[in-house]
Each structure stands twice: as C-alpha cells, then as structure tokens.
C-alpha cells in the first residue's frame, strides 16, 4: 500500500451538504418539495450525506399544531413519502414524529428509498421562546450511524447545548468522529457567537467534528438566521454558511481516525442504536475548499434580521403590498426603508396624515423620505375628521381643557384611515412604534398600534437612531433625511409637543428598560447602577401598567434576548413592586 493510500485510510473523508432552508410552518407538501430539491442538488455535488434543520418538514415552531393528531399523522405520512425519493445519498431530516401515541421532535435518516432510522430529541428546551415540553416527549436513546466506516452521531439542537449530559457521555463512550446537529435556533443580536462557543465546547469535550445545520427565515416574531457551522475537534471554525439567506453548504471533511469505544463507566446510561449505511463513494475529484461567509457586525445583523422577518411575515401570510403612516419622524422613516428593502418600492405605500399640529418640517420630511425611496405617497388630512369627532363628542366630553382623549382621537383617526386603505386594497398595515415606546405605553391602542406587523417593536429608540445612521451610510446617501434624525422626537398631537415632556431622555430610558425588561432587575438594583431612584420608579410603573396594551399589539421581529410577547410573559393584574414603599 502506497503512502497516499495509507493516509486516505488513516484520515477517512466525508462530503457533507448542509441544506439551510426556509420552510413554511404547516405547508408539508411544499416543504417536502423543497427538501427533495436540495437532496438532488447535494447528490449532484457528490455529497455522501445531506442534513436539514430541525422540524424542516413541518416548519418551526409548529406550536399547537402539534396538539392535533391529524397534523402528526400527516407529518409521519409525508416523511414516509419523502423517503421514497431519496436515492444515492444519505439524508437526515427533522420532523414531528408520532410514535406510541406520543409526539417527538425527531430526525429521520433516509437512504435507498427507505426510512432507515428515527432519532428522538433528548433535551427539550423550556425557556425564553421555547416551549417544547408542552408538546414533545424526550427520547430515551442515542443514534449512531456508520457511513462507509465513519462513526457519526445524530443530535437535535439542545442535545449539544447542555453540558455533561447523556448525549455527550454517549459520544465520548463510543468515540464518535462526527456529530450532526440539526437545529432551529432563533436570532437575537450576538447569538452566533454564543452558538460558536456552545459547539466548540461540545467538539472539544467529545473530540468530534460538529456539523451544525440551522434554519433560516422568518416565522411570526422569530427570525432564524442560518449561519450553519462546521467546528473542528479543537473548537476551531472550519466553515460557516451565509446568514439570513438559504444556502447549500458542501464540505469535504477529513475526520479523526475511528478508535475503539472505551469501556463503559457508571455515567454511561443512554441506550445506543447503531445503523450501518453505505454512501455512494463515487467522488474522485479534489476535496472542496472549506469557506466561511463574511462576518457581520452588530448593526448589520440586526438590519438583516428586520428585513428577513418583514419579508417572510408579509409574504408567507399572503400579502404582496404594505402601507404605513409616514409622520416625518425617524421611526416611520426607518420602517419605510426596511419595508422597501424587504419588499421593493412598488410594494410599499406611505400615507401622510397631517393635522393642525403637524409642522411644515415634518410634512416636508415625510415627502422627502417617500421620494428618496421611490414609494407612492398618499396624503389624507385629518383636521376636518378630528373636528367632526369633537363636535359630536362635545356634550359627552363636557367642558375642560383638551387632554389625552383629544390626542388619542387623532391617533385613532389615523389608524382608521390606514385600516380603511388596508381593507380597500388588501395591503398589510405596518406599525412603526419602537420598543421604548411599547415598553412604557407611549402609544395609542387602536391608533398607532393598529396594524398587522410591528417591524421595530423590539428595537429600542436609541438603537433606531444607530440603525438609521448605518442605513444611510450603507446606502451612500440620505435615505432618511438628516433633519429627521436631528429633530427632537414628537408625536405632534398637541402644540409644541416633545417626547421628553412625558418621558426621560431615551439615553436614560433605554438602559433602565434593558435592566428591568431584559435582565429582570428590580427597582433598588437598577437605582444602584447610578440612575435616579424616582425616574426608575416611574419607568417601572409605566412598564407594568401598560402590559395590557402590549397584549393587543401586533407581532414584530425579535432582535433582543428578551422581547415582549413570546419571551416576556407577565400577568396584567400584578401588584408585585419591590422597593416601591420606600
């Protein structure tokens, strides 16, 4: 045997394709076609093995669809039909399995037109946006594939996030050369670095190459950013797919030589199933170079998440066009820019609805934004409609100075106009409120909160300014006028109104909100960070009392570790306020 043959035998090779796809929840026929197309593409590129994300056949997360017996039966039937189309390659596909009357988060192993094995996820996350123990039963064994003599372990997402668990013990006990991890890991800013650390730890602990296949696409509030990874046994990143876009990442991997399984130890409890499969082994070309997609900065990844989340929410729900109010302020201008980048200028309509309190500057800026973006702008003045309301309500309202009821009437008139256009033309209404406003209730129910999708509801106001500047810089021109960015924010619902009349400066408000909402700190802990006690107390009071508003807000893209809605679920009726008696 020559030296090259000896080296080839010592360092077995596997060509793996990671299909980073964007399925639609519940559309199993379309998802199956998408999966089959990627299987064929992987086979055409000479791959031995192709993997797909967690619950790829069903879409993620299916939520209470999993409580429907028929949905699970259809899932199993669709997987069996899918298996018949798999030839000349081994495929690992995520799906919801029905076995023994129970529902499992599963990975199917398909080869030679048959379903060869099914693995059931062992670790079920039940924190943050995850609620898997509501739906799934945990698996009770591990699955080891032997493909052309290579020892490969099948895992699903959380299985390798939990250190020192049964999955890790099994990988160590049987000295696996590769761990395939199919995943649906939702985005928040900085999440990719966390994934890399988790995967590197597992690789170093087990001595295996880790091939992590993530979902991509938007599903209601969640965005899945892809970025599928291949991690070496020493924790180094070997390959990384693009983020926020589908991709078939194909890699040639030289794997550590197979070693004998070590003797069992006391902690080696999990049962193991072994399945031996043959891959075609028809490839004779040179190994493919391992590549990594360009890194994304903090603002770029948030920007891309907002675009993808908007595009998929609108498109997957059957809409082609959107409409939004263009007030001349930064929030509506930024939302309009995102909508154009997600859907195209022809599919975005702006509406300016001036009142007697609208300044000439903001009205001009609304027009400039529409012109810069190339979108249609409709003007519907609200002063006469507002006056008609006041006349009809004069007797019920009685005497007194105009107050918040008068301000909210204007916001609700604008909401009615937008919803009227939506009903007339079938456009989805995008709301433009940010996280800071949503947190403290500086928004109007059935007014500026009325709509189908709240694009920036998880973006704090200070971050809106950063993203607006980034967007202009990336475009190389002022899509959002500098006058809009520089002007003090205002709702313009009364003469000379400013946000700062009702709220602390956003540079103060946003860090307090982050501490209270995202870090779950309480009053005295936040004040100890150096913030004014009375200011913190008032901010907490506003957040707590406006929970009822947020329950009625439309969904929006999650970009922070803890968003309102899926992440943060507090009771509306709630008297727990430690430190308020001080």
pLDDT in tens, 356-389: 765 667 668 888 999 999 999 999 998 999 899 8
- 265/71: higher pLDDT: 71
Dihedral in degrees, nearest 10, Cα atoms 59, 298, 18, 34: 40
Query: Is-above-0.85 flag for pTM?
Result: yes
Estimate to the nearest angstrom the gap between the alpha carbon of 380 and the chain centroid. 35
Q: Is the pLDDT assigned to residue 282 strictly greater than 70?
A: no
Both structure tokens of 61: 């997360």
CA gap 555, 335 in Å, rounded:
15
Mean pLDDT of 547-557: 94
Both structure tokens of 277: 């499969």
pLDDT band at 4 (very low <50, low <70, confident <90, very high): very low
Residue 378 sits at φ, ψ, to 5 deg, of -105, 135
Given this model, what pLDDT does residue 364 score?
80
The pLDDT tens digits of the residues spanning 411-426 come to 899 999 999 999 999 9
Do 347 and 427 meet the contact criterion of CB atoms below 8 Å apart?
A: no
For residue 454, give the nearest of 442, 466, 470, 438 by alpha carbon: 438
Annotated active-site residue 260? The verdict is no
For residue 578, give the nearest of 502, 532, 531, 527 by alpha carbon: 527
The pLDDT tens digits of the residues spanning 154-188 come to 999 999 999 989 999 989 888 899 999 999 999 99
Q: How many CB atoms lie within 10 A of CB 27?
A: 15
77-101 per-residue burial string, b: 16 or more CB within 10 A, e: under 16: ebbeebbeebebbbbbbbbbbbeee
Do 394 and 402 meet the contact criterion of CB atoms below 8 Å apart?
A: no
The one catalytic residue in 121, 122, 457, 461 is 121
List, in order, residues 6 or more apart from 570 with CB less than 8 Å away. Answer: 544, 547
Q: Domain residues of the chain, as ranges?
A: 13-277, 298-499
The architecture in CATH of the region 298-499 reads 3-Layer(aba) Sandwich (3.40)
Given this model, what pLDDT does residue 272 score?
85
CA gap 482, 310 in Å, rounded:
25
CA gap 292, 276 in Å, rounded:
31
Mean pLDDT of 221-249: 96
Given this model, what pLDDT does residue 352 score?
93
CA gap 467, 564 in Å, rounded:
20
Instruction: Give helix then strand counts, H and E, for the chain.
Output: 17, 20
CA gap 519, 526 in Å, rounded:
10
CA gap 55, 458 in Å, rounded:
26
- 146/266: higher pLDDT: 146
3-state secondary structure of 152: strand
Q: Is the pLDDT assigned to residue 249 strictly greater than 70?
A: yes
Q: How many CB atoms lie within 10 A of CB 126?
A: 10
Given this model, what pLDDT does residue 497 score?
57
Q: Where are the alpha helices (DSSP H) in 358-434?
A: 360-373, 383-397, 404-425
Given this model, what pLDDT does residue 5 score?
45
Residues forming beta bridges with residue 19, ordered by sequence position: 248
Q: Is the pLDDT assigned to residue 266 strictly greater than 60?
A: no
Given this model, what pLDDT does residue 492 score?
55
Mean pLDDT of 403-407: 81
Given this model, what pLDDT does residue 255 score?
84
Q: Where are the alpha helices (DSSP H) in 28-121?
A: 28-44, 69-83
Q: Is the pLDDT assigned to residue 196 strictly greater than 90?
A: yes
Mean pLDDT of 388-411: 85
The one catalytic residue in 157, 211, 240, 443 is 157
Name the least confident of 232-241, 358-367, 433-442, 499-508. 358-367
Mean pLDDT of 292-321: 96
Q: Cα(first)–Cα(last) distance of the chain, in Å?
A: 83
Given this model, what pLDDT does residue 357 score?
66
Domains 13-277 and 298-499 share a fold: no
What separation in angstroms does the CA of 265 have from each of 168, 172, 205? 13, 11, 16
CA gap 123, 240 in Å, rounded:
25
CA gap 290, 292 in Å, rounded:
7
Q: Is the pLDDT assigned to residue 3 strictly greater than 50?
A: no
Both structure tokens of 420: 């009227």
The pLDDT tens digits of the residues spanning 433-489 come to 999 999 999 899 999 899 999 999 999 999 999 999 999 999 888 899 888 888 876
Q: 225: exposed, middle or buried (C-beta count within 10 Å: 0-12, 13-18, 19+)?
A: buried
Given this model, what pLDDT does residue 285 score?
65
CA gap 346, 516 in Å, rounded:
41
CA gap 164, 166 in Å, rounded:
7
Computed on alpha carbons and rounded to an integer, the radius of gyration of the chain in Å comes to 27
Given this model, what pLDDT does residue 452 score?
96
Could you give the percent of the chain with pLDDT greater than 70? 91
Given this model, what pLDDT does residue 407 score?
82
Residues forming beta bridges with residue 276, ordered by sequence position: 146
Residue 137 sits at φ, ψ, to 5 deg, of -100, 140
Q: Where are the alpha helices (DSSP H) in 398-495?
A: 404-425, 435-440, 461-475, 482-486
pLDDT band at 1 (very low <50, low <70, confident <90, very high): very low
Given this model, what pLDDT does residue 6 score?
43
Annotated active-site residue 63? The verdict is no
pLDDT band at 496 (very low <50, low <70, confident <90, very high): low
Given this model, what pLDDT does residue 446 score?
92
**Could you please report the per-residue DSSP string of 329-345?**
SHHHHHHHHHHHHHH-G
DSSP 564: B
CATH topology of domain 13-277: Nitrilase/N-carbamoyl-D-aminoacid amidohydrolase (3.60.110)
Within 13 Å and on the Cβ side, how many CA atoms surround 441?
15
Do 361 and 487 meet the contact criterion of CB atoms below 8 Å apart?
A: yes
The pLDDT tens digits of the residues spanning 95-134 come to 999 999 999 999 999 999 999 999 999 999 998 888 999 9
Q: Is the pLDDT assigned to residue 39 strictly greater than 90?
A: yes
Given this model, what pLDDT does residue 259 score?
67
List, in order, residues 6 or more apart from 4 with CB less than 8 Å away. Answer: none
List, in order, residues 6 or more apart from 36 with CB less than 8 Å away. Answer: 82, 85
What separation in angstroms does the CA of 13 have from each of 43, 191, 254, 286? 16, 31, 5, 12
Both structure tokens of 487: 């002007």
CA gap 40, 59 in Å, rounded:
20
CA gap 219, 129 in Å, rounded:
12
441 Ramachandran zone, left/alpha/beta (phi>0; psi -120 to 50): left
Annotated active-site residue 9? The verdict is no
Please work out, in degrees rounded to the nearest 5, the angle formed at the alpha carbon of residue 21 by the alpha carbons of 18 and 27.
Answer: 135
């Amino acid at each position: 045997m020559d030296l090259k043959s000896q080296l080839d035998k010592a360092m077995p090779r596997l060509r793996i394709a990671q299909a980073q796809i964007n399925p639609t929840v519940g559309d199993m026929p379309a998802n199956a076609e998408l999966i089959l197309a990627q299987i064929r593409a992987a086979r055409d590129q000479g791959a031995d093995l192709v993997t797909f994300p967690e619950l790829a056949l069903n879409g993620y997360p299916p939520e209470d669809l999993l409580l429907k017996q028929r949905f699970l039966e259809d899932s199993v039937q669709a997987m069996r039909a899918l298996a018949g189309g798999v030839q000349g390659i081994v495929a690992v596909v995520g799906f919801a399995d029905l076995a023994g009357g129970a529902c499992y988060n599963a990975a199917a192993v398909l080869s030679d037109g048959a379903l060869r094995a099914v693995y059931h996820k062992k670790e079920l996350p039940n924190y943050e946006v995850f609620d898997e123990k509501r739906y799934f039963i945990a698996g009770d064994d591990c699955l080891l594939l032997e493909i052309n003599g290579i020892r490969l372990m099948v895992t699903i997402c959380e299985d390798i996030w939990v250190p020192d668990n049964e999955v890790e013990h099994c990988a160590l006990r049987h000295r696996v050369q590769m761990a395939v991890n199919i995943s649906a890991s939702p985005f928040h800013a900085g999440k990719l670095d966390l994934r890399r650390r988790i995967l590197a730890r597992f690789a170093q602990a087990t001595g295996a190459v880790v091939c992590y296949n993530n979902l991509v696409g938007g599903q209601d509030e969640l965005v899945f950013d892809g970025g599928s990874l291949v991690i070496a046994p020493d924790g180094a990143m070997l390959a990384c797919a693009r983020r926020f876009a589908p991709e078939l990442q194909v890699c040639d991997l030289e794997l550590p030589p197979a070693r004998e399984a070590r003797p069992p130890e006391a902690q080696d409890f999990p049962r193991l199933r072994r399945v031996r499969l043959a891959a075609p082994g028809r490839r004779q070309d040179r190994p493919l170079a391992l590549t990594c997609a360009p890194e994304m900065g903090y603002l770029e990844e948030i920007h891309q998440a907002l675009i993808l989340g908007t595009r998929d929410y609108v498109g997957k729900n059957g809409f082609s066009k959107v409409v939004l109010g263009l007030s001349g302020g930064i929030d509506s201008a930024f939302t309009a820019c995102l909508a154009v980048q997600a859907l195209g200028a022809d599919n975005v309509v702006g509406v300016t609805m001036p009142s007697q309190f609208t300044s000439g500057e903001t009205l001009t800026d609304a027009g400039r934004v529409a012109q810069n973006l190339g979108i249609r702008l409709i003007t519907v003045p609200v002063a006469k409609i507002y006056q008609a309301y006041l006349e009809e309500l004069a007797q019920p309202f009685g005497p007194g100075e105009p107050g918040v009821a008068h301000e909210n009437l204007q916001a609700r008139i604008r909401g009615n106009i937008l919803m009227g256009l939506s009903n007339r033309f079938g456009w989805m209404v995008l709301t433009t409120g940010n996280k800071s406003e949503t947190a403290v209730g500086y928004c109007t129910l059935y007014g500026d909160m009325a709509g189908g999708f709240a694009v920036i509801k998880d973006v704090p106001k200070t971050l809106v300014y950063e993203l607006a500047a980034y967007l202009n810089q990336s475009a190389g021109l002022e899509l959002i006028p500098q006058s809009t960015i520089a002007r003090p924010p205002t709702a313009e619902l009364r003469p000379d109104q400013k946000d700062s009349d009702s709220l602390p400066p956003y540079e103060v408000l946003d860090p307090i909100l982050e501490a209270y909402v995202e870090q779950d700190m309480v009053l005295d802990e936040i004040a100890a960070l150096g913030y004014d006690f009375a200011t913190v107390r008032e901010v907490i009071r506003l957040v707590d009392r406006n929970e009822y508003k947020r329950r009625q807000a439309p969904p929006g893209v999650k970009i922070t570790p803890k968003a309102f809605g899926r992440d943060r679920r507090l009771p509306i009726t709630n008297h727990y306020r430690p430190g308020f008696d001080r």
